[in-house]
Every structure is written in structure tokens, then in C-alpha cells.
Amino acid sequence: MPFLRILCPVEHKSFATSVETSVQHKASLPNMIKFSHCPYCNALHGWTPDEAFFDDAEYEASREVSEVASSAGSNVTNALRRQLFAGAGSRNKALC
């Protein structure tokens, strides 16, 4: 199973958290703040499952969706991200 990844806000590099889950189960994770030690800046970064992603390609795609939908509000952005992650699940299954 893949580890969720987050982005270091200081170095702008992604790193794996200690949370290992499947694409299908990511949506069922409790939306509470978790903390992960960053190997790049040696700080603890707070994050929620909504902010986490599975690989750098998924992060880049979600960033593009966020930029397009940012003027429409967070509900639209979250809906688009859910659609994106649903599509990412089928890609990840094909790779296994």
C-alpha cells in the first residue's frame, strides 16, 4: 500500500508521511490534523488527509485543478479533487 505524501512548505518538496492507506480508503480517513517530521527542513508539518496525495504526479494535477477552481470557492475545489482522486485510483490499480 502506498504512503500518503505532503508538501514541505519551506522547501516545496514532497515527502512520505507515516500514514499508509489505499486510494479507496483515503476518503474514509478522519479529517483531523496530523503531524509529520519533514526530512528536508527538520520541522513538524501539520496536515489533513484532504491535503495529502499519493505521488508527485497526483500533486501536480491537483494543484492545476486548485488554481482553476480557486476563484469559485473551496467547495468546488474539494469536489474537483475528489473527482481527480477517484480517477487516480484506477490508474494506481493498473500499475499494481
Q: Which domain holds residue 20?
A: 3-95
Beta carbons of 49 and 26 less than 8 angstroms apart:
yes
* Domains of the chain: total: 1
Tens digit of each residue's pLDDT, the chain (96 residues): 889 999 999 999 999 999 999 888 999 999 999 999 999 999 999 999 999 999 867 656 666 655 655 555 545 455 555 655 555 444 444 444
pLDDT on residue 59: 59
> What sign does the dihedral 3-69-76-89 (CA atoms) show?
negative
Strands 14-20 and 3-7, by their bridges, are antiparallel
Beta strands in the chain (DSSP E): 3-7, 14-20, 34-37, 44-47
pLDDT on residue 91: 46
Q: Determine how many CB atoms are found less than 10 A away from the CB of residue 49.
A: 20
pLDDT on residue 83: 58
Q: Could you give the CA distance from residue 27 to residue 20 in angstroms, rounded to a whole number?
A: 13
pLDDT on residue 1: 82
